[in-house]
Amino acid sequence: MKYLTEYLWFNTPKRRDIINITETIQGLVKKSGVAEGFCLVSAMHITASIWVNDDEEGLWQDFWELLERLAPSTKDYKHHLTGEDNGDAHLKRTLIGHQATLPITKGKLDRGPWEQIFYAEFDGKRKKRVVVKILGD
């Protein structure tokens, strides 16, 4: 069994952002030497997510609008009583999820024709990390 653990670091200049990390993840799969296995990509901060979807600007706008309807940034959350101002970011992360597990086949990520991997940030402007764990033969 082969394995690789790598950390990706992000510090977005905006409070919310989305970054396509597909090629970076594929490069780590290649580096691992795993031909058949799995790749786990997990945001290690409670206000960021990993999102697998199409790389299309209209979809991104729909994504942000949906999250804003479900967890508006303007709402006064009980979490804010702790002195924080990012209650919406925690809820958005909960809605999208914190990780994705992707298959590796013949040394490559085995994705659908339009699937891309994104780091989604809901409370940026500070350093955060993502763990990538690759396991297989």
For residue range 80-130, list pLDDT tens digits in order: 999 999 999 999 999 999 999 999 999 999 999 999 999 999 999 999 999
pTM: 0.95
> Which domains does the chain carry?
2-55+96-136 (2.60.120.460)
Task: Give the integer Cα–Cα distance in Å for 119 and 128.
Answer: 11
Q: How far is the CA of 112 from the CAs of 82, 88, 102, 115, in angstroms?
A: 42, 31, 11, 5
Whose tokens are 């970076």? That residue is: 24
Contact in structure between 22 and 39 (CB atoms under 8 Å): no
Give the SS3 label for residue 123: coil
Task: Give Cα separations from 16 to 6, 28, 109 (angstroms).
Answer: 24, 25, 27
Name, in order, each residue with C-beta under 8 angstroms of 94's C-beta and a sequence gap of 6 or more. none
- The percentage of the chain sitting over the pLDDT mark of 90, rounded to a whole number, equals 99
